[in-house]
Amino acid sequence: MKYFRYDLFIAQNTDNLPEEERQEVDRQWQHNREAYSAILKTLSSRLPVDVYAHFNSWGFHDYRLTKMDIEHRSLHDMSVHFTLSSDIDNEENEELWCLCFDKVSYIQYQHLNYDNDQCVMHPEIDDWLYEEIMPVNESMLSFEVLFSSGGNVVLHFPDQSVSIKRVK
């Protein structure tokens, strides 16, 4: 992640950070948010209208990843589906969404929290924190998501090859 970095997230959520460092982290976070917002605006025509609108607001911040499916047809043609829940503990009020990427040509998973005593992508700590949609070139986009567990997924997909659907 270029803008919503895991190290800044950790620093922002550290209780004993000296005030001067906390202010610097907050300044950096605000600067990065503004810089990313400017880039996202340039991608509005490269994303479906509903996808752009969803991620131009709050996205899936604090949703829980309940499932990630990968359909593999070839090295340059995969589909990746994220199923996300707003509240898995309260089924009555739960919103369930599916975020689907088609024609994925690149996928990378890494974890950024080597000190985590739970496995990465652990069901109780894999809240969706931030995502970035960035241009790779004039016809390919990158989608990167950071989870609170330290898990990080990066995908590359062609323009317009993403959809979002509320399941429940």
Summarize pLDDT for 57-92 with one digit per residue, the tens.
888 988 988 889 999 888 778 999 999 988 766 667
Order across the sheet with 77-85: list the strands. 64-74, 77-85, 96-104, 162-166
Distances (CA, A) of 98 to 1, 22, 25, 156, 163: 22, 36, 33, 18, 8
CB 10 within 8 A of CB 29: no
For the entire predicted model, the pTM comes to 0.87
Whether residue 152 is contained in a domain is answered as: yes
Domain residue limits at 45: 6-166
Low-confidence ranges of the chain (pLDDT < 70): 88-91, 113-125
Question: Rounded distance, CA 116 to CA 82, Å?
Answer: 23
* Number of domains making up the chain: 1
Which residues share a beta bridge with 104?
Answer: 78
Residue 123: per-residue pLDDT? 58
Whether residue 28 is contained in a domain is answered as: yes
Whether residue 74 is contained in a domain is answered as: yes
Question: Rounded distance, CA 24 to CA 37, Å?
Answer: 20
Whether residue 1 is contained in a domain is answered as: no
Whether residue 24 is contained in a domain is answered as: yes
Whether residue 117 is contained in a domain is answered as: yes
Residue 126: per-residue pLDDT? 74
